[in-house]
Structure 1
Amino acid sequence: MTHTHLAAAMQRGTEFLGSRYAIMGGAMSWVSERNLVSAISNAGGFGMIACGAMEPHMLEEEIAETAKRTDRPFGVNLITMHPALTELIDVCAKANVSHIALAGGLPPKGSIDAIKGKGAKLICFAPALSLAKKLVRSGVDALVVEGMEAGGHIGPVSTTVLAQEILPEITDVPIFVAGGIGRGRAIAAFLEMGAAGVQLGTRFVCAHESIAHEKFKKAFIRASARDAVTSVQLDSRLPVIPVRALKNKASEEFAAKQRDVANQLDTGSVEMMEAQLQIEHYWAGALRRAVIDGDVESGSVMAGQSVGMVKGEAPLADIMAELCDEAETSLAP
């Protein structure tokens, strides 16, 4: 199928990304690596490497290996709280990475200038209109509006509400909508609302090219939307951002981890930043156990609510074609 109407609706997004489709791959730690990222880009989308807790030399290798697998554009997602953020930005600059996304909070002082000053386009996440306006004033080049239906770390507001709130108010920069998107018809709807494109993660996890463990993929295929639940914050002092994942033993273990860290705060054995990093390291380790080792019981099976629309494994190109065909059909008069 030709995608004439989709191409017109996505023009601003595709011009910004340099890809055929303005469909960004969500940055999923351990999943969004060289194989899946390159497959997304080769299928016409825009793959994003999830740097996560990688050290600079690891990111350097990941970028190089991804570039060996695709000649299409791709980007890198960096976590704002990473202690080596400056070095990671330098790695991206040396590798001529065209787009960098900063996730996990407001960009630290100097990071925006460091990224843009080295020629990359900067994408940031805006979970509220006030923050979106602040980020635009700060000079970011594009925004991702991600609702609570997404997998992994989430905010408190749904995708549809955020889109309605932010899209009409912010026109200076391209906006990509994310969270719970599993069908091309939804992509078409957000484009018609004014989005430049979308970001999807959960729908791509079970692509043939994804290195996620077979048990991890099977958990996705079996799950329904209501199985993807959010973690609970036990102590208001802990800067715990809710995480959406399939319910399992890891949920209970996370509660125990929070109690342990809270006790450390009580005794003064850790500072608040260290406490936050401990929580982040917990998720990184739990997610690796599930994605790489296939421990879907005590590992974290992070998934968005669109997981119910994942019906089986398929080549990434087929998933992308299905999404784009559905969107084209919806957009055509």
Structure 2
Amino acid sequence: MSGEGLIAEPRAVHASVGHERLRELMHRGTEFLGCDIAIMGGAMSWISERHLVAAISDAGGFGVIACGAMGPELLDAEIAATKARTERPFGVNLITMHPQLSELIDVCARHEVSHVVLAGGLPPGGAIERIKASGARLVCFAPALALAKKLMRSGADALVIEGMEAGGHIGPVSTSVLAQEILPVVSKDIPVFVAGGIGRGEAIAAYLEMGAVGVQLGTRFVCAQECIAHPNFKKAFIRASARDAIPSVQIDPRLPVIPVRALKNQEMVNFAAKQREVAQRLDEGAIEMAEAQLQIEHYWAGALKRAVIDGDVESGSVMAGQSVGMVNREEPVAAIIQELVDEAAAALESRG
């Protein structure tokens, strides 16, 4: 199903003014992404793969493949399979600390991927230049105003500001505070998308009015019919409330671990034990800091796979944002996007 017309041709006549206003506010975002609706799919490892990514793009949004811990061959196959499922544009999310980042950039370039999203901190030297040399547009995450300015100077074409309400790896500041801090300063110079804790269209409308050009959502798409996540994983989302999505705790201050937000279960306890194990090996000199952090990342990838693919929602990691309380049923991607669009349009129209 194409997303064309979801904004321009609303379900109800009385909402037409709101839909037109929504289209105006999203114009920079849709123009930048090359889609109909400036809603990006959050890059969720094991979840944001060919099926969900293609469905989001076909519904008028912008799907993003989560490369995560994939090697170049796996990413190559995933991009090819996604291209076979949709003719609409989509992006690829790469983690800056990936040991094969350079090779992954080459894979994206060979496939002429239109947008590359870099997550996980400042990109290593040369990465930005190589991505842009391939013709791709570069999107970077900016968890603070100072970093947003630095990324702009470094050549980022757009930014995503994601607050701590999000699922998966999170920063220390809420979405609403980041939006107030960053949007007024940089949104005139560079397209900015807002992410973290967004579950309804009213929130989308509010961030657009503050200067955002679009939004990124992950948690709302987990229970899409097109998502390959195990039924147990989806049931956990449908049953959960916002307070069930909690951040992991850092056990040893000498081992910097980016917190992860997930539904509370036995895995959150297991992760504390894993941190102690890695910290001990670090103390013993058995591994270097970079290897320690990489081990933590691989641990999360495995724990997430147990939950998403195998359906083990107790000893696997059920990464979820605080908007999980707004996920209450399984439905098609197109229905999710349509609902968000209609809610945003109604909110805009109510404000006159």
Structural mapping, 1:198-213, within 5 Å: 198-213=215-230
Of 280, 301, 312, which residue of structure 2 is paired with 1:284?
A: 301
- Partners of 1:127 and 1:220 in 2: how far apart? 26
| TM-score, normalised relative to structure 1 | 0.99
- Partners of 1:111 and 1:117 in 2: how far apart? 10
Shift of 1:274: 0.4
- Partners of 1:238 and 1:100 in 2: how far apart? 29
Of 56, 67, 73, which residue of structure 1 is paired with 2:83?
A: 67
Of 187, 196, 207, which residue of structure 2 is paired with 1:179?
A: 196
Identical aligned residues as a percent: 74
Query: Are 1:34 and 2:50 an aligned pair?
Result: yes
| TM-score, normalised relative to structure 2 | 0.94
3-state SS of paired residue (1:124): strand
Counterpart residue number, 2:4 = none
- Partners of 1:53 and 1:205 in 2: how far apart? 19
Which structure 2 segments of 5+ residues have no match? 1-9, 11-15
**Letter aligned with residue 307 of structure 1:** V
Of 80, 97, 118, which residue of structure 1 is paired with 2:113?
A: 97
**Letter aligned with residue 327 of structure 2:** V
Of 275, 297, 301, which residue of structure 2 is paired with 1:258?
A: 275
Counterpart residue number, 1:239 = 256
Of 28, 48, 56, which residue of structure 2 is paired with 1:12?
A: 28
Shift of 1:172: 1.2
Of 150, 155, 161, which residue of structure 2 is paired with 1:134?
A: 150
Counterpart residue number, 1:196 = 213
CA offsets per residue over residues 79-137 of structure 1, 9 Å max, x none? Answer: 00111100100000000100000001101100000000110000000000000000001
Which structure 1 segments of 5+ residues have no match? none
Of 42, 45, 54, which residue of structure 1 is paired with 2:61?
A: 45
CA offsets per residue over residues 217-259 of structure 1, 9 Å max, x none? Answer: 0000000000000000011111200000000000010000000
Shift of 1:303: 0.1
- Partners of 1:132 and 1:141 in 2: how far apart? 11
**Letter aligned with residue 332 of structure 2:** P
- Partners of 1:239 and 1:69 in 2: how far apart? 39
- Partners of 1:93 and 1:6 in 2: how far apart? 33
Query: Are 1:310 and 2:335 an aligned pair?
Result: no
3-state SS of paired residue (1:167): helix
Structural mapping, 1:79-118, within 5 Å: 79-118=95-134
Counterpart residue number, 1:323 = 340
Counterpart residue number, 2:179 = 163
**Letter aligned with residue 44 of structure 1:** G
CA offsets per residue over residues 246-290 of structure 1, 9 Å max, x none? Answer: 000000100000000011011100000000000000000000000
Shift of 1:17: 0.2
Shift of 1:183: 0.1
Counterpart residue number, 1:119 = 135
Of 249, 254, 267, which residue of structure 1 is paired with 2:266?
A: 249
**Letter aligned with residue 237 of structure 1:** R
3-state SS of paired residue (1:122): strand
Q: How many residues align?
A: 333
- Partners of 1:268 and 1:82 in 2: how far apart? 22
3-state SS of paired residue (2:185): coil
3-state SS of paired residue (1:35): helix
3-state SS of paired residue (2:253): coil
Of 164, 167, 173, which residue of structure 2 is paired with 1:148?
A: 164
**Letter aligned with residue 60 of structure 1:** D
**Letter aligned with residue 107 of structure 1:** P
- Partners of 1:176 and 1:152 in 2: how far apart? 18
Counterpart residue number, 2:93 = 77
Shift of 1:33: 0.2
- Partners of 1:307 and 1:274 in 2: how far apart? 33
3-state SS of paired residue (1:176): strand
- Partners of 2:253 and 2:85 in 1: how far apart? 45
Shift of 1:70: 0.7
Give the 4+ runs in structure 1 shifted more than 2 A. Answer: none
CA RMSD in angstroms comes to 0.6
Counterpart residue number, 1:220 = 237
Shift of 1:5: 1.6
- Partners of 1:172 and 1:188 in 2: how far apart? 20
